[in-house]
Structure 1
Amino acid sequence: MESLVSALELPQDLCLGAAVITALGCRELTIENHKGILEYGPECIRVLSGMCRIKITGCDLVISYFNREAMKIEGRIREIIYE
């Protein structure tokens, strides 16, 4: 499926359910196309996306905005890990 999407030059976020992650420096992160929260704490937030799990580590992490399509994470973001 991935090769077909690439060959047809279709957007992966729409066709494969890939997360769209936008970082604003190391203090703010927006995740679109998420499937839910797996873990939530001040030093680690894990999010499920259509293609993988996303782990955000840092200090003083909070989810300042959340709906079924997008979420905003604020705090001192240290790492974004795709699991």
Structure 2
Amino acid sequence: MAKHNWRRRLVARARRVEKTITDFLELPPEAALDLPRLTLVGDSRLLLENHRGIVTYQPELVKLKTSTGVLAIKGIGLLLLEIKPDAIALEGTIHSLEFSPWGRHEVT
């Protein structure tokens, strides 16, 4: 248990240092810290940059890994339009977006 607390504190401290450096250099955090960037157009199109892969792909549910957790997109007729190493585009009728940080209960 203590081992995990030590690791969690170290990761939190590293994130604070990264944020301080990014703020100082006036860089966008999603580019410098490899944070996910979502672009949602209405309820029909989504672009996720800085993804880490696909966890689940179904017409009603798509789960994508990011550097900070899992993003679940729920809807109807979800279709992956484009998959690139750094971005994923999908379309369909999007009903909800749910984010589950690493270490927390995963979105179902």
Q: Structure 2-normalised TM-score? A: 0.70
Query: Counterpart amino acid of 1:27?
Result: S
- For 1:41 and 1:5, locate their aligned partners in 2 and report how far apart those are by CA, in whole Å: 39
Matches within 5 A, 1:33-52: 33-52=50-69
1:18 aligns with 2:35: yes
Q: Which runs of 4+ in 1 moved over 3 A?
A: none
Query: Structure 2 unaligned runs (5+)?
Result: 1-14, 101-108
Question: Which structure carries more relative contact order (alpha carbon 8 Å, separation 6+)?
Answer: 1
Higher strand share: 1
Q: Match for residue 93 of structure 2?
A: 76
Higher helix share: 2
1:64 aligns with 2:59: no
Identical-pair percentage: 27
Shift of 1:76: 0.3
Q: Match for residue 4 of structure 1?
A: 20
Query: Structure 1 unaligned runs (5+)?
Result: none
CA deviation profile, 1:14-62 (whole Å, cap 9, x unmatched): 2221111001100000011101001100010000111121110001101
Contact kept, 8 Å, 2:63 with 2:73, in 1: the verdict is yes
- For 2:68 and 2:21, locate their aligned partners in 1 and report how far apart those are by CA, in whole Å: 14
| Secondary structure of 2:31's aligned partner | helix
Across the aligned residues of Structure 1 and Structure 2, the Cα RMSD in angstroms comes to 1.5
Q: Structure 1-normalised TM-score? A: 0.89
How many residues are matched? 83
Q: Which has the larger radius of gyration?
A: 2
